[in-house]
Amino acid sequence: MDNNPDQSMVPSTTSAPLIPDRIIPGLYLSDIQTACAVLSPYYPAPHRPEIKYVLSIIDRPDRTPKVHPEDEWKFVLKFLKLRDVGSDDLLEILGEACEFIRSSMKNNDGGILVHCAKGISRSASVVLAFIMEDMCLDYDTALRYVRQSRSKVKPNPGFEAQLQLWERMEYSIFEADGTTHKEEYNVWKANNEHATKTLAFRILEKGAGGPNKKDGTT
């Protein structure tokens, strides 16, 4: 009989405790292994930050870190779907993500940890968006600020472009009524969808050997 604890709740063995990076007081950023460690009752680090909220920015809900059943009352978990693909709509989730971070910090009952797989692109982009809005910073300044705490932060080029648009739209994809999308977002979304479809068509065409493969022409 295997008496070992659920491995999804046990942090990997490392030479040092898995500690998330503090970006500002109450807001932390990490990879998924560190998030699992923070939620694990077997976490050995005596000086881990007091974290109550965990925001997972990953592609599948089944990949979110697990909480031991006896500890579920200690944490508030939220999942937002996003792949680390530059054409994925980061802007669409930023409002909800930033509001969750903001409300969690206002509760003042524990910090919030934002993570993705590696804590480099997806979750970093969300944290950058929040810092930009909270401190009224442009993208480049926010990036330098966040890298002071986590030097490996590097949004993929598509997310970087979206964060620059986030800045130009003054940190919201909606007009003042809260329901109508801003024209800048509509234009970006239409162009993004067109580019994605064009790329998919070219990939399919290449896989088929080109449009004239059947008749032997080139």
∠ Cα 26 172 182 (to 5°): 170
Is the pLDDT score of 10 beyond 60?
no
* Two tokens, residue 71: 């500890």
* Share of residues in the chain with pLDDT > 70 (%): 84
Instruction: Give the chain's radius of gyration (CA, Å).
Output: 20
pLDDT band at 17 (very low <50, low <70, confident <90, very high): low
Higher pLDDT, 168 or 195: 168
Residue 193 lies in a domain: no
Is the pLDDT score of 5 beyond 50?
no
| pLDDT tens-place string over residues 38-81 | 998 887 666 778 999 999 999 999 999 999 999 999 999 999 99
Residue positions annotated with a catalytic role: 116
Please list, in sequence order, all residues whose beta carbon lies within 8 angstroms of the beta carbon of residue 212, skipping any fewer than 6 positions away.
Answer: 218
Average pLDDT of the chain? 88
Q: How much is the pLDDT for 201?
A: 66
Cβ neighbours around 138 below 10 Å, total: 12
Please report, for the domain that includes residue 140, its CATH number: 3.90.190.10
Is the pLDDT score of 205 beyond 80?
no
C-alpha span between 127 and 29 (Å, rounded): 8
Residue 161 lies in a domain: yes
Q: How much is the pLDDT for 13?
A: 40
C-alpha span between 124 and 23 (Å, rounded): 10
State how many domains the chain has: 1
Say what the pTM is: 0.84
Cβ neighbours around 56 below 10 Å, total: 24
Q: How much is the pLDDT for 196?
A: 84
Instruction: Taking each helix axis as running N to C, give the angle between helix 157-168 and helix 90-107, from 0 to 180 degrees, rounded to the nearest 10.
Output: 70
Domain span at 162: 17-173
| pLDDT tens-place string over residues 108-152 | 999 999 999 999 999 999 999 999 999 999 999 999 999 999 999
Residue 116 lies in a domain: yes
